[in-house]
């Protein structure tokens, strides 16, 4: 039987298109599978909705995607080296590629933010003052300038609202001591007293 070349070509192209489409579908499915698998690992400590149980691990829900990306890259190249970064996140971030980092950041940034937790109202009031006014006597600018009027974050400056107070406390301490490499923040917070730090983190956890 002689094969009609035109029919063969049409059938061939159709089959090829179907195979490519399936391969791309499979590719997209594989990408989604890789992301889902990665998110399950993140969720072990950070919660699948980005709200962690233990304050050792920060909430990621509604976090600035640019900030999450920058931190994951800093864990991956080990430029962020505070104790918990070394203990937990260097290993976690080592195998991530750029597209996964981007997808993780997108996912958590879209989760609804954690609700505020009530606390010592006097401490929270003092913290609100530090957050909104800074400490002019020590030339410390208001945190709100970069982190947003409601600590919702801005570009690469992270959201702080609803974050675990013990986590924020630890970050401010490791930034002050330069265990965590954050030159701009170090300049801003280096003169904050322990009492001021405790007040501002209590406020941030409450909003």
Which residues sit at the interface with another protein, rule CB under 8 A? Answer: 3, 5-6, 8-9, 11-13, 15-16, 19-20, 23-24, 26-28, 30-31, 33-41, 43-45, 48, 53-56, 86-88, 90-92, 94-95, 97, 99-100, 166, 170
**Cβ distance to another protein smaller for residue 140 or 168:** 168
Cα(70)–Cα(28) distance, integer angstroms? 25
- Closer by beta carbon to another protein, 103 or else 199: 103
CB of 61 to another protein, least distance (A): 12
Helix (H, G, I), strand (E, B) or coil at 163: coil
Radius of gyration, CA atoms only, the chain: 23
**Closer residue to another protein, CB minimum distance, 30 or 150:** 30
Neighbours of 14 (CB within 10 A): 10
User: CA nearest 85: which of 165, 176, 167, 189?
Assistant: 167
> Measured from the CB atom, is 55 or 66 closer to another protein?
55
Query: Least CB distance from residue 196 to another protein, whole Å?
Result: 19
Give the C-alpha separation, 62 to 109, whole Å.
Answer: 4
């Amino acid at each position: 039987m002689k094969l009609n070349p035109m029919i063969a070509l049409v059938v061939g192209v159709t089959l090829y298109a179907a195979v490519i489409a399936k391969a791309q579908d499979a590719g997209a499915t594989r990408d989604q599978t890789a992301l889902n698998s990665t998110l399950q690992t993140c969720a072990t400590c950070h919660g699948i909705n980005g709200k962690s149980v233990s304050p050792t691990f920060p909430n990621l829900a509604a976090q600035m995607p640019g900030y999450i990306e920058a931190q994951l890259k800093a864990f991956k190249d080990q430029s962020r080296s505070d104790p918990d970064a070394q203990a937990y996140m260097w290993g976690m971030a080592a195998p991530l590629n750029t597209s996964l980092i981007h997808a993780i950041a997108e996912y958590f940034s879209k989760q609804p933010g954690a609700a505020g937790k009530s606390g010592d109202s006097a401490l929270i009031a003092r913290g609100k003052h530090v957050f909104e006014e800074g400490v002019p006597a020590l030339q410390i600018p208001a945190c709100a300038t970069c982190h947003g009027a409601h600590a919702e974050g801005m570009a690469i400056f992270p959201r702080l609202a609803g974050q675990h107070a013990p986590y924020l406390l630890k970050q401010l301490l490791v930034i002050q001591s330069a265990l965590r490499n954050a030159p701009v923040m170090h300049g801003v917070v280096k003169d904050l007293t322990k009492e001021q730090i405790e007040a501002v983190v209590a406020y941030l956890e409450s909003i």
